[in-house]
Amino acid sequence: MDSNSLLKLRQTYNRTRRWLGLVSLAAGLLAWWLAALYGGLPAFILPSPSDVWTRFLRALVSGELARHTGATLLEVLLGLFFGTTFAIILGYILAKSRVLEQILSPYLVASQAVPLVAIAPLLVLWFGPGIFSKILIVGLIVFFPVLVNTVFGIRAVPPAYYDLMRSLRASRRQILHHLEIPAALPIFFGGLRIGATLSVIGAVVGELVGANTGLGVLINISRGTFDTPMVFVAVFTLIVLALCLYGIVAWMERKFLIWQEHISNN
């Protein structure tokens, strides 16, 4: 099979996969509507899709949804940035130093062994209900997957490549720029995808513990007033945020790893 046939086959597969996703979404909405209509449950337990849509429009027009979404998005973006930056720096250092890895690994593993919901109240208590504690919670939940994938990405570089770069008298910066970063990027982006998705969870956990604004706060308020459609609206907004962040990371991965596609096609 030639390259053109493979390209057409891949395009057909991508189109089919997109249609399957839309069909699955439509089937899920239909099942939800039927369950709300014939399930015999009151609207404050299981609202219909139309009730949720109406509540979404009301919250959108009033600016309530935009205000809380903006607060959560700011926490997510700042926490994702600082958590990823620190994870990359520390991950590179650990990848180059086995001794330092042995020293820090018990603390790193212990930080992941404790559930975030157990740490979040302490962080809010220590740093207050403001945005800083939420950024810290998001950074912590993003940190570990990015760190691990950074370490494995750097260590995945074959030793023969280092020998080749040294034979060419490459400097430390040139080795980093032309060898280690391109070799580590495929594995790194895998960790960043996970971190981007988990960042939304971290922000909501912090807001549920203590905050003034955010989608987690909106869920708490709506739950207390039995405004279940608004709870659905907030949850779906969180899903959209997570999907958008995941899509942005996937787009960055395609952009920075376009050379892989050229290699596979050749």
Residues 192 and 164 in one domain: yes
Residues 93 and 31 in one domain: no
Residues 6 and 132 in one domain: no
Residues 18 and 118 in one domain: no
Residues 61 and 87 in one domain: yes
Burial 250-266 (b: 16+ CB within 10 A, else e): eeebeeeeeeeeeeeee
Residues 70 and 120 in one domain: yes
Q: How far apart are alpha carbons 90 and 200 in whole angstroms? A: 23
**Per-residue confidence band for 70, with pLDDT thresholds at 50, 70 and 90:** very high
Are the CB atoms for 202 and 241 separated by under 8 Å?
Answer: no
Residues above pLDDT 70, as percent of the chain:
90
Burial of 201 (0-12, 13-18, 19+ CB in 10 A): middle
Long-range contacts of 240-245 (CB under 8 A, 24+ apart): 241/69, 241/72, 241/73, 241/76, 241/200, 242/196, 242/197, 242/200, 245/76, 245/80, 245/196, 245/197, 245/199, 245/200
Residues 64 and 124 in one domain: yes
Cβ within 8 Å of residue 51, ≥6 positions away: 36, 43, 229
Residues 13 and 135 in one domain: no
Structural domain tally of the chain?
2
12-26, 49-63, 110-124: least confidently modelled range: 12-26
- The pLDDT value given to residue 233: 94
Q: Which domain holds residue 74?
A: 46-265
- The pLDDT value given to residue 153: 87
**Per-residue confidence band for 105, with pLDDT thresholds at 50, 70 and 90:** confident
**Per-residue confidence band for 3, with pLDDT thresholds at 50, 70 and 90:** low
Residues 155 and 90 in one domain: yes
Nearest CA-CA partner of 145 in 98, 188, 81: 188
CATH of the domain at 178: 1.10.3720.10
Residues 31 and 78 in one domain: no
- Quick one: tokens of 258? 């376009």
Burial of 107 (0-12, 13-18, 19+ CB in 10 A): exposed
DSSP 47-76: --HHHHHHHHHHHHHHTHHHHHHHHHHHHH
Residues above pLDDT 90, as percent of the chain:
32
Residues 9 and 83 in one domain: no
Residue 201 pLDDT greater than 60, yes or no: yes
